[in-house]
Amino acid sequence: MREEAVRAFVIRRFNPHPKHPQQSTVGLDRIADLLFLEDGKCPRCRVAKHRYDSDCVKALATAVTRLKTAMKRDGIPT
């Protein structure tokens, strides 16, 4: 999950919202679709399109939060 968290962090970081730079134009549900779907379905939860409250999206959000915390702890600017 670490590799996916790094990818999600980078995608969200470099796609800022025009009016709200602290927010991203790409949601974690869309990123989960990009990262996890294989042959039209997710092998983890067997859905064709992730919702914002699905288990895969929650796991990805947790991994991104842990990545940000580790980066702050190591002195890497986020």
pTM for this predicted structure: 0.86
pLDDT at 65: 94
pLDDT tens sequence for the chain (78 residues) = 788 999 999 999 898 888 988 889 999 999 999 999 999 999 999 999 999 999 999 999 999 999 999 999 999 987
d(CA 13, CA 55): 22
Q: Which two tokens stand for residue 43?
A: 């092998």
Domain ranges in the chain are 2-73
Place of tokens 């399109």: 49
* Cα–Cα distance measured from residue 18 to residue 52, given in angstroms and rounded to the nearest whole number: 22
